[in-house]
Amino acid sequence: MKQALEHIKVVDLTRVLAGPWATQILADMGARVIKIERPGAGDDLRGWGPPFLKNAHGEETTDAAYFLSTNRGKESVTLDISSAEGQEIVRQLAKDADVLVENYKVGTLARFGLDYESLRKINPRLVYCSVTGFGQTGPHAHLPGYDYIFQGMGGLMSITGLPDAEPGGGPLKTGIPITDVVTGIYASTAILGALEHRNLSGEGQAIDISLLDCLVNVTGCAVMNYFLSGRIPQRLGNTHSNMVPYQVFRCKEGDVIVAVGNDTQFVTFAGLI
């Protein structure tokens, strides 16, 4: 079966998680993704182990599980983009590319002549997506940041975990790097929108994706609860701020999740117990 993005070429200048997650989604839909890594260590995520992939002889490679989970279906090339030769190779790749995704600190690629304004001159149809912690503008634009930082800054850790007064209570991060994952999803969605815009107008465009913006956006239910009630959302453990019962109950044979989403379901549930 023909995949939706088989005709799309993506230059992937991202590393760690949010950017690679976005380009992996595009690869899953059939896009040709060319991942560019620095000489030597490559993507930092390769070293985020153990565990590491083992070769046919049972020996550990340098590819950690984290790296494998975010770079499925991609081609890979090593380039030193700080060198004139490396920069020229990126330009040649970008000349007929549909998409370029990068997650360098603001201003880094401009120093190398690889920013959107430079590359659009050789490819006006290019969709150029920048993924950063705080966006391209603003007082914190120049700062880097990891998923964990934005879980705290974006408010997620203030509503995740047990209440402060309970044993073990306090701020709690999620079990997966949720900020990176949702940022990758938002980035890939924005890229698809920009490609459709290009289909209609013939023009590419720049996309500015911020980890902090994406994390705040996914806390929208809690934010709207505050806007309507004036009450600051709190950590409630495994209970729900708006529905009951919607929680974990400890039973003789193990923990049981009971999730009742409306009054009709509650009548049925009450009849069962």
Q: What sign for the dihedral angle of Cα 80, 83, 85, 87?
A: positive
Beta pairing class for 32-37 and 9-13: parallel
Of 43, 63, 115, 180, catalytic: 180
Cα dihedral 93→107→69→30 (10° resolution): -30
Those residues with Cβ within 8 angstroms of residue 224's Cβ, 6 or more apart along the chain or in another chain? none
Determine how many CB atoms are found less than 10 A away from the CB of residue 123: 17
Beta bridge partners of 259: 246
Cα atoms in the 13 Å half-sphere on the side-chain side of 83? 8
Active site residue 164: no
Whole-angstrom Cα Rg for the chain: 22
Residue 247, Ramachandran bin (φ over 0: left; ψ between -120 and 50: alpha; else beta): beta
- State the catalytic residues: 180
